[in-house]
Structure formats: C-alpha cells, structure tokens
C-alpha cells in the first residue's frame, strides 16, 4: 500500500503557513528519493524511464555514425573542402553553379589543393565536398534529435533535477564537440595539407566521451535487473573494468594520432615493421618526446604496442570474472568482450596490411566503439551490484 497522502503523479512537500503544498512529478520523485522509502514506481514512470533510455541508446548509435562519417571524411581528404563555418546557413549545400564556383575558389587558395589536388576540376571537388557536407549535416541532425526529445521529457515532468543537469551537460558537450571540429578543420587552412593531429585527437576523444556518458546514462534507465553474487568480488571486478575501459580509450586516442598523420600507410607488414621488430626510425626526431606525436614510425609502433595492453586488460578481466562469484547475467554479457577484441584485432591488422582501404578502416573505428561499449555495460552492472542496487 502506498504511504498516507501519496497520490500517483504528485507528492506533497511541507508547506509554510499560507502556502499551497508543492507538487513533484513521479519521475522526479523516483529519481531523487531513496528506494528504501518503499514507494514503487508507477507504470507511467517506468514507461517514461524506458523511453528516455531507448532515446539515449539511439543517440549513441547516431554518435557512432557521426564518427564513421568523420573517418570517411578523413580518409578521402574531404575535411578541408568546406572553408566556411555556418552552423545555420550551412545546412544548405550550394544551389547554383555560381555558388559552386565560389566555394571551389575558396578551396583552391589552401595548401591542400596546391600541393595535393592541383588541377582538380569542379566535379572532383564536388566528390570530396559531399562527404564533409554530410558529416556536418549529420552533426546538425544529431543536435536536433537530442534537443527536441530533451525538451519534451522536461516539459512532461519526466526528468529529475540531477538528470536534467547531466543531459543538458551532454548537449553542451556536443556543442563543444562541434566547435572543436571547426577548430580542427581551420588548422588545415594555412600551410598544412591536412588537419592537425592534435586537434583531431581532441575532436575524436570528445566524441568518445559523449558516447560513453550517453551509454552510461541510458543504462541507468534500462539496466534494472536484479543482480546476485558477492559484493566484494563485484568491487574487485569493477575496479578492473574501470581500468580496462581506460586502456581501451587510450588505444582509441593513439588510433586518432595514426589517422591524423596517415601513419597507417607505412610499415604495412605485421608483426614486423619493414622486416624489423623495432624500426630504426622510431626516435629520429629531436627533442625525443615529439616522436610520440609527430614521428609516423613511433606513432604506428605505439598503437601496435598498446593494442597488446588492451588484450592483456580484457583477457585478465575475463579470467578474473570466471573465477569470481558474480551474477550469471554479467558472465553472459562478458561474452561480447572476447568477440569484440578478436574482431577488432583482425580488422586492425587487415587494415594495415591492405594499406588502409576505407571500408576496413571504418569498420576498425566501429569495432573500437563496440569494444568500449561492451566494457562499459559490464562496468555499469558491476557498479550496481557493488552498491547493492536492484
């Protein structure tokens, strides 16, 4: 039985003399009150929570598509084809031959055209323009697909204060991601023939952060299954999962450096590097520390090397999971980890040895998000069991 004075959809708070009792939505109450209060969520609140969770999962998918479009844009050298940043007016592509000629003239002024694509005609320019255009257009669609449902859930009273804050924070992080993308593109307008690998790194890792936070928040709404097993073992595995996911994120960052410097187009044998276990070109730049971000030999080697650390982190986690007292549901979910790791390793090696075909390179990017997402699902479940949540 509900406690005295409780009515679905509202809860009376203490009011001062002469004040009307303040009302609070079901969702706000469920998200802010301890479960120990014994008030079960109504069917409407549960449905709203599932809707929010499914919406966030869909947004995760859209973020992955955004990253894949960005990868194609980078591999086709399309990123510098649009020289203007018009968040609103840029939604429309050139609609006349005169406008096409104008934007093509802007592109002919930069170093990439002069040193890489000299002699390109308008048809060739259009081929690279459309990839960058669709990448930016998808970013605008993503922003609308996030903002409109967010406003709707808020208007309907389905968001608690804490949830509203973190979802608005996600939206602002997405806006920062868009700005970082423009700053990255602008780095190629002067003396460079491609964008700065440092800015590309920031751009990609912001996308990784947005994806990870969205998935985590979605699981807060959707992953409500009761979990058994030892809390102590769950705590041990949770800490391992947290470090495992951090290692995966670092490997993704190192992959951004590979993409930003075209380091995948050299040393296309494996496991050797042009017949050497350690390339003689690893530390040829001075000072020595810039080799890690500017020497293509070192950049590729560290990406190869760190993939071994990812494998160690994942395999050791699986071994510990098998030996610990945790819920069978988590052990079943863990099956995705070795599968994702094996596929990702295969895609990485194949992409390298076949000299970076676009299809395999894009699948390799997708594999990184699948691997990270699999790890985050396990980490989230372990955290719930550690806290004793249902």
List the binding residues for heme: 303, 364
Residues 6+ apart with CB under 8 A from 44: 8, 9, 26
The runs of H, that is alpha helices, within 108-196 are: 111-115, 122-155, 161-186
Instruction: Compute the distance between CA of residue 208 and CA of residue 213 in angstroms, rounded to an integer.
Output: 9
Q: C-alpha distances in angstroms, 219 versus 56, 214, 378, 384?
A: 9, 9, 10, 10
Share of the chain residues as helix, strand and coil, in percent rounded to the nearest 5: 70, 0, 30
CA 195 to chain centre: 20
* Residue 122 tokens, joined: 């308008």
Are 382 and 245 in contact by the 8 Å Cβ rule? The answer is no
* Residue 338 tokens, joined: 């070795």
* Residue 87 tokens, joined: 């968040």
Q: Where are the beta strands (DSSP E) in the chain?
A: none
Instruction: Compute the distance between CA of residue 24 and CA of residue 322 in angstroms, rounded to an integer.
Output: 45
CB neighbourhood size of 37 (10 A): 11
Instruction: Compute the distance between CA of residue 43 and CA of residue 9 in angstroms, rounded to an integer.
Output: 11
Instruction: Compute the distance between CA of residue 2 and CA of residue 10 in angstroms, rounded to an integer.
Output: 12
Task: Show binding-site residues.
Answer: 303, 364
């Amino acid at each position: 039985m509900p406690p005295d004075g409780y009515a679905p959809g509202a809860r009376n708070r203490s009011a001062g003399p002469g004040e009307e009792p303040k009302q609070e939505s079901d969702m706000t109450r469920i998200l802010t009150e301890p479960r120990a209060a014994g008030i079960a969520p109504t069917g409407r609140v549960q449905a709203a929570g599932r809707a929010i969770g499914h919406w966030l999962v869909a947004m995760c998918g859209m973020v992955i598509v955004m990253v894949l479009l960005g990868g194609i844009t980078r591999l086709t050298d399309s990123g510098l084809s649009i020289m203007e940043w018009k968040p609103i007016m840029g939604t429309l592509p050139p609609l006349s031959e005169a406008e096409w000629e104008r934007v093509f003239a802007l592109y002919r002024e930069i170093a990439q055209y002069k040193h890489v694509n000299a002699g390109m005609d308008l048809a060739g320019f259009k081929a690279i323009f459309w990839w960058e255009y669709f990448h930016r257009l998808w970013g605008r669609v993503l922003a609308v697909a996030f903002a409109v449902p967010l406003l709707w859930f808020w208007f309907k009273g389905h968001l608690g204060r804490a949830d509203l804050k973190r979802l608005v924070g996600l939206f602002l992080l997405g806006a920062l991601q868009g700005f970082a993308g423009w700053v990255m593109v602008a780095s190629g307008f002067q003396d460079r023939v491609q964008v700065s690998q440092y800015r590309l790194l920031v751009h990609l890792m912001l996308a990784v952060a947005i994806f990870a936070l969205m998935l985590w928040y979605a699981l807060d709404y959707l992953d409500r299954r009761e979990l058994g097993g030892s809390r102590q073992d769950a705590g041990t595995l949770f800490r391992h999962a947290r470090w495992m996911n951090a290692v995966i994120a670092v490997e993704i960052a190192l992959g951004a450096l590979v993409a930003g410097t075209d380091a995948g187009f050299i040393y296309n044998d494996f496991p050797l590097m042009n017949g050497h276990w350690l390339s003689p070109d690893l530390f040829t730049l001075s000072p020595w520390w810039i080799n890690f971000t500017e020497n293509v030999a070192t950049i590729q080697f560290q990406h190869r090397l760190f993939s071994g650390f990812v494998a160690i982190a994942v395999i050791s986690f699986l071994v510990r999971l098998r030996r610990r007292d945790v819920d069978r549901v988590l052990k079943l979910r863990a099956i995705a980890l070795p599968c994702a790791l094996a596929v990702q390793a295969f895609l990485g090696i194949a992409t390298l040895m076949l000299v970076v075909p676009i299809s395999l390179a894009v699948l390799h990017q997708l594999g990184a998000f699948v691997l990270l997402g699999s790890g985050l699902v396990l980490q989230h479940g372990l955290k719930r069991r550690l806290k004793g949540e249902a």
